[in-house]
Every structure is written in structure tokens, then in C-alpha cells.
Amino acid sequence: MKKFIVTGGSGFIGSNLVKFLLKKNYFVINIDKLSYSANPYNLKEVRNNKKYKFIKLDINNQKKIFTILKRYKPDGIFNLAAETHVDRSIDNPKNFMNSNVLGVYNLLEALTKYLKKNKKKIKLVHISTDEVYGDIKMGNRSSEKSSYNPSSPYSATKASADHLIKSFVRTYKLPAVISNCCNNYGPCQFPEKLIPKLIYNILNGKPLPIYGRGKNSREWIHVNDHCEALLKIFFKAKNGESYNVGSNQNLRNIDIARKLLKIAKSKPLKINQRVKIKFVKDRPGHDFRYALNNNKILKNLKWKAKIPLNSGLSQTFDWYTKNKMFFKSVPRKLYENRLGLKV
Ligand code: NAD
């Protein structure tokens, strides 16, 4: 049975990945420092699973990471531990340096030391983002060969980590690969992010805050499709390579809000009249458009996103409607008053 470490496994994508790997009968060790965006609610159904182990730890703790590697001898590490909200990176870039750059450095050092003494094969799959490519002009899509051009402290720290990993692959022959994924949506996402924030506001009779005039465009993928891609990358990717993980489903923020409103109206729900799109002051340095060229992963790894946006959003809406405890399990002050999103 394969054993995997998932770092950041109590957050949004991490918890979906932990459950996805457990369903496939793998042994999963979740290492998470439990920051504000981690939520025990996300993993309540696997807490007592004998194939699941949780370790509360910062990935900066190189010594303990080394000990965990020695003890469990995992086949793979999926690194999702990171600070992730662009607005928070504008408020406080230092936290992003600590987890997204230094944290990755410490993880790489622990792994390099471990590999000097252990012959067992292991692969690091580092989870990065399409934001490293920066703004992409209409009609263009970034490929893995496009240059990095990050705009926010968040994307700059993610870009730094990608470069650091590639340098460790080349210099120390570290077995690592990188995925650059577009915007994820699905269950268990911290409600400061666009889609759960809009669903929360629809369910709670509040206006729907949209930056600027809502014209900024993102590519959206269901988190389950991302998990499938990550496992495929673990098994099939060539060391040192990076893979864009996209869906080709690009939408302006205003269209996401309109789609969610339409979905909400199709459900047996009473929607308060205050639930209307409300433009708010734009985020500083806001990237206008991200869009990925997916050809490499489609061709080389035979992976393709399967979940259409309309049905994925509708299922996601249903999940948040049925899991109101998810919202209750997060202190409201952590997400109701984020930069630019005051309503
Ligand atoms: P999230 O904020 O929901 O979860 C991050 C998790 O990492 C939290 O549980 C947190 O406690 C943990 N963490 C943070 N710093 C840590 C540290 N130093 N040590 C141990 N644990 C730490 O984020 P997410 O949306 O699930 O994103 C996960 C990863 O995927 C990130 O690396 C992010 O950059 C990347 N990514 C996210 C998206 C997206 O749309 N959400 C898209 C592409 C890539």
C-alpha cells in the first residue's frame, strides 16, 4: 500500500486530497500547522480512519519533518502547506515568505538529507498556481515555457518556491515535480475566497461583493479534478517537470456571481432581496486575466478535467447549503471583513 504525506491537509485542497487518497486505500499522513484557514470540520469523516494520521507541525520544522520521513518512509509528498489568500499577502507579505518560501526551503532540506541516507524511492509533488505567470492578454494562454511574471506577494512567493524546487532538482537531483493549477472550487474552501464567499452571502441574505467592475477573468477547476491530476502527476510525471493543470473554463468574476445567483434561484430557497451584485473598491495590483495552456498534461499524462462548470458549481452550492456547520465552524471575523469585501 502506498503511503503519502500531504502537507496543508487540513485546508481546502489538502482536505479534499486527503479524502481522495484515503478512498483509493492509500495511507495518508497529514502535516498541518493549523493556521486560520485549516478546519477540523473538513476532515471529520476520516478522523478515526486507521489509514489516516494527523501531525500538527509547521513545515519549517526541518528536524521533525526529517524524523517523520525516516519513520514513515512515504512514497510521495504532496506539498500544499502555504499561505494562500492574495488579499492577506497584501496586508502581511511576511507570513507568505515564511510558509511559501522558507517553508518550502526547509522541506527541501529535510528531503535532501533523508535521501542521502535512504534508498527508497520518493517523489515530491509541489502544488503551485497559474498566478506565477501574472496577467495574460486576451487570446493568449500561459504554457509551462512562459516566463514567470508574478504581481502579488502571494504569487511572488509561489514563483520563488517553484524556482527553488527546480534548482534542487538540478543541483541535488531531488525527485520533484510541480503542478501549476488554476482557481479551484468545491467543498471545504475557506469562505474568504470568491465562490464560498458568494454562496455564504446568498444563503445569508447579503449583497455579493465583486472587485472593480467584475471584469477580471479566472480559469475554474473543480477540486476533485485537481486531485485526480495530482495523483496522475505523482505516478506519471518526469522528475523536474512542471505541468499546467487547467480546465479551459474561463469566466469573468461577474459571470461567476451571475451563475451562482441563477443556480440559487433554481433551488428551493427563499432569497433575500438584498442579495444583489455590489461592486467594491478593486484589489491593488489586481491581475486582469489568468489562462492556462493545458496541452502538456493532456498529451503526456493523458489527464483532462471532467467536471463541467455548471454542474460542479451546482453541486458545490448544494454542499455549502447542506453543510451550514462548515460556516459556523469558522469565526466570522476571519472572513466577513477581508480587504475590499466589506459589505
Ligand atoms: P488553504 O489556505 O485552504 O490551506 C492551506 C493549508 O496549509 C492550511 O490548512 C494551513 O494551516 C496550512 N499551512 C499553511 N502554512 C503552513 C506551514 N508553514 N506548515 C504547515 N501547514 C501550513 O489553501 P488551498 O486553497 O487549499 O491551497 C493549497 C495549495 O494549493 C497552496 O499551495 C496554494 O498556493 C495552491 N493552489 C491553490 C489554488 C486554489 O484555487 N485554492 C489554486 C492553485 C494552487
Q: What is the 3-state secondary structure (H, E, C) of the chain?
A: CCEEEEECCCCHHHHHHHHHHHHCCCEEEEEECCCCCCCHHHHHHHCCCCCEEEEECCCCCHHHHHHHHHHHCCCEEEECCCCCCHHHHHHCHHHHHHHHHHHHHHHHHHHHHHHHHCCCCCEEEEEEEHHHHCCCCCCCCECCCCCCCCCCHHHHHHHHHHHHHHHHHHHHCCCEEEEEECEEECCCCCCCCHHHHHHHHHHCCCCEEEECCCCCEEEEEEHHHHHHHHHHHHHHCCCCCEEEECCCCEEEHHHHHHHHHHHHHCCCCCCCCCCCEEEECCCCCCCCECCECCHHHHHHCCCCCCCCHHHHHHHHHHHHHHCHHHHHCCCHHHCCCCCCCCC
State mean pLDDT over 58-70.
98
Q: What was the pLDDT predicted at 334?
A: 86
Residue 256 has pLDDT above 60, yes or no: yes
- The ligand 1 atom nearest the CA atom of 179: 44
Rg (CA), the chain: 19
Q: 223 vs 27, 78, 151, 186, 340, CA distance in Å?
A: 20, 15, 24, 6, 26
Considering 32, 130, 228, 336, which one is annotated as catalytic? 130
Q: Name which residue leads in pLDDT, 299 or 336.
A: 299
CB atoms within 10 A of CB 262: 12
32 among known catalytic residues: no
Instruction: Based on the residue annotation, tell me whether 144 is a catalytic residue of this protein.
Output: no
The rounded percent of the chain whose pLDDT value lies above 90 is 91
What is the reported pLDDT for 339?
A: 47
Q: What is the pLDDT of residues 136-170, one digit of tens each?
A: 999 999 999 999 999 999 999 999 999 999 999 99
Q: Does pTM surpass 0.95? A: yes
So what's the pLDDT on residue 337? 66
What are the pocket residues of ligand 1 if the criterion is a CB atom closer than 6 Å to any ligand atom? 7-8, 10-14, 32-35, 37-38, 58-60, 80-84, 99, 103, 127, 129, 158, 181, 183-184, 190
pLDDT of residue 283: 86
pLDDT band at residue 340 under the 50/70/90 scheme:
very low
Q: Whose CA is nearest to atom 44 of ligand 1?
A: 129
Residue 288's pLDDT is what? 87
Between 336 and 108, the more confident residue is 108
| Distances 283 to 32, 73, 212 between C-alpha atoms, Å | 29, 43, 8
- The more confidently predicted of residues 311 and 341 is 311
Mean pLDDT of the chain: 95
Pocket-testing residue among 7, 12, 125, ligand 1, by greatest number of atoms within 8 A of Cβ: 12
Band (pLDDT 50/70/90 cuts) for residue 210 is very high
Q: Which atom of ligand 1 is nearest to the CA of 189?
A: 3
Q: How far, in Å, CA of 6 to CA of 18, rounded?
A: 7
> Which atom of ligand 1 sits closest to the CA of residue 14?
26
Q: Is 154 a catalytic residue?
A: yes
Catalytic residue among 32, 58, 75, 131: 131
Contact 308, 248 (CB under 8 A): no
